[in-house]
Structure 1
């Protein structure tokens, strides 16, 4: 027998990358039936919760259906292992329902074909926890459509939607530079070979997916061993419930440096490490936290790694490039004009030499004597060089000159023309 319900599905009106607190989630429940159908009601339920679960040992295993990676609507409650749940959203809405006054039999008859039932609900005000799926903890938001029919088990369909809690990396707390340093002596007892020191710094604490982190570091190797530096981004998932804590840490990106020989120093002047597509930091959930750090470490043969960690926050609103929003306009204006002092020359450029375009005899004939130069200074009241400085940024004019003192010979007079284009000041 061909089933009467061909399709039962949920479609959202907007295909968004993430909904925020206070926004409206709307869509339609699609129902396609191959023959006339009797139903009692059709409704939707919107839910959202954070879940954590893990096993404490061999004696309390958790079956795969209770894994935190599984959507919450597929995870019934269980006493196996450790688990906890925190609800953020619960909203129900009846889209179509049979009433006693309108239909004595208590059901609605739908003709064959496709039917749409619109729904809409508003998310709670304030920031919600970002959707996440981890090893021992998860945050899911979903809509369930329920079709109720007489003498038949209820038919359900689920559709998940993403929620995001925005983190602005332009906040002052995330724009501060972070630095640290550490030193370790290699060897033991009287067989020490020397210290290895590491200092590292990043420009700010907050970054977004796809950004490259410039790393500034200095590694000094005073030991007798060949060492290798490395930088890596680590994600730490922390689950808390019933006074117990479970931590899972994994590396999400890394970059290696060059080998550093004994007695040498290596400097990272902005070595970049790109952030891969990862979940944003979760800092506002009481049972699940997702945190990041940048670890710079030195691998030492035959010894423990020298390691420092700088905290990171992966946000959702990218860096705008203007620093802290509380910075004054005057300081920003002075920064933008700082290039002007570098563009102005301290000394004016020397004018072209007249001797380069005329003969030596003509140059000596028209060069004024020392007494004439002193007389010109007395008339101007200041050295001629002062007047040259006053017009040092003005371009020379266009001119054409004919030699007024041609050399008498059989050859025709030489015509010399100069054309100097205007130069940008």
Structure 2
């Protein structure tokens, strides 16, 4: 019956920026609109804004009935905020519901997000961080009908942190064995020009390689997204890796030293910022650089970058 009375319901938000994102403390404005097919009594129209995190995964072992018996479920929940406001109220003097005529009705609204260290919106394999705005229409002797829209919340990382602009570097080495004796050593140092980047930016990955072995080695670079989910008490966790970009460099022949290779990796535009300010869900962006040595050996260096929103492009602080 409700769908026959109320048609074309919409929640329209006024964009605060070109990416239509919101952040801590932002003032959100907009309007709701809907069509009524007949005269209708409305007790109230309320708006609720929430910020929540929920993670869940399960493990199992064996098969059949045994598998069902050994299944274990893990979960965690957090609520950052939950507040409501009234868009339309019944007549305060008489307590009588508002009687709305057929046709189009438009009601503006304003609400301000609370100040706080809230993580960015995210949907992962075992959990999600969701900020939503829900509008409920309440009628006498009827169940409430709710309409929701998600807010694209972004946590802004302060770009004036010196460590974000400092170069990153990591090294590793290994001894390569031949059929009868030691073949030689392979070493690699990987560096980036800074730690912080933003979606759409290209990262220059600098690889300095010494290949004293008789084997040909091939560098491979992967930009990964690491999702880590925790239970409420952080006793249990689940980690998932997703490769966003993969690049392969030129092979390096055996007994070759002082090889300087630069591999360019562009961060996908739709990548979400790093999340480190949530106790049950974290998102990291390690760059994994590997040297494939022969058929089964691999030398690996991890360089963990931080992915920020575009505001990280502010001029870096001066170093004395």
TM-score, normalization by structure 2: 0.88
- Whether 1:136 aligns to 2:132 is no
1:125 counterpart residue number: 115
SS at match of 2:164: helix
Aligned counterparts of 2:68 and 2:140: Cα–Cα separation in 1: 41
Equivalent-residue separation in structure 1 for 2:319 and 2:187 (angstroms): 36
1:273 to 262, 265, 268: 265
Partner of 2:154: 164
Partner of 2:250: 258
Shift of 1:169: 4.3
Distance, in Å, in 1 between the alignment partners of 2:265 and 2:55 is 31
> Matches of 2:146 and 2:243 in 1, distance apart?
39
Distance 1:3 1:244, change over 3 A: same
Q: CA deviation at 1:60?
A: 6.6
Matched, 1:113 2:107: no
Is this contact kept in 1: 2:16–2:22, CA < 8 A?
Answer: no
Which residue in the other structure is 1:50 paired with?
Answer: 53
The CA deviation string for residues 310-330 of structure 1, in whole angstroms up to 9 with x for no partner, is 11001112334x5x41446xx
Distance 1:163 1:275 in 2: 20
Post-superposition offset of 1:26: 1.8
Instruction: Name which structure has the greater RCO, CA cutoff 8 Å, separation 6+.
Output: 2
* 2: CA distance, partners of 1:145 / 1:319: 37
1:234 corresponds in structure 2 to: 224
Change (3 A) 1:88 1:212: same
Q: Is 1:196–2:186 an aligned residue pair?
A: yes
Contact 2:37/2:103 (8 A) holds in 1:
yes
The equivalent of 1:319 in structure 2 is: 313
Question: Per residue, is there more strand in 1 or in 2?
Answer: 2
Name structure 2 gaps, 5 residues minimum.
Answer: 62-66
Q: Does 1:155 align with 2:155?
A: no
* Greater fraction helix: 1
Give the gaps of 5 or more residues in structure 1.
62-79, 329-425
Name 1:24's counterpart in structure 2: 27
Superposed CA deviations along residues 123-174 of structure 1, whole A, max 9, x for unmatched, are 1113321111111121111111111112322211111111111124452011
Shift of 1:120: 1.6
* Paired residues of 2:54 and 2:129 also in contact (CA < 8 A): yes
Q: What is the alpha-carbon distance in structure 2 between the residues aligned to residue 194 and residue 21 of structure 1?
A: 55
For residue 98 of structure 1, the aligned residue among 61, 77, 90 is 90
**Superposed CA offset, 1:214-261 (max 9, x none):** 222122222222221111111111111142111111111122111112
Q: Number of paired residues?
A: 307
Task: Specify whether residues 218 and 164 from structure 1 end up closer, same or farther in structure 2 by C-alpha distance, changes over 3 A only.
Answer: same
Which residue number corresponds to residue 69 of structure 1?
none
Instruction: Give 1:37's aligned residue.
Output: 40
Cα shift at 1:266: 6.5
Alpha-carbon RMSD: 2.4
Larger radius of gyration: 1
2:48·2:83 contact (CA, 8 Å) conserved in 1?
yes
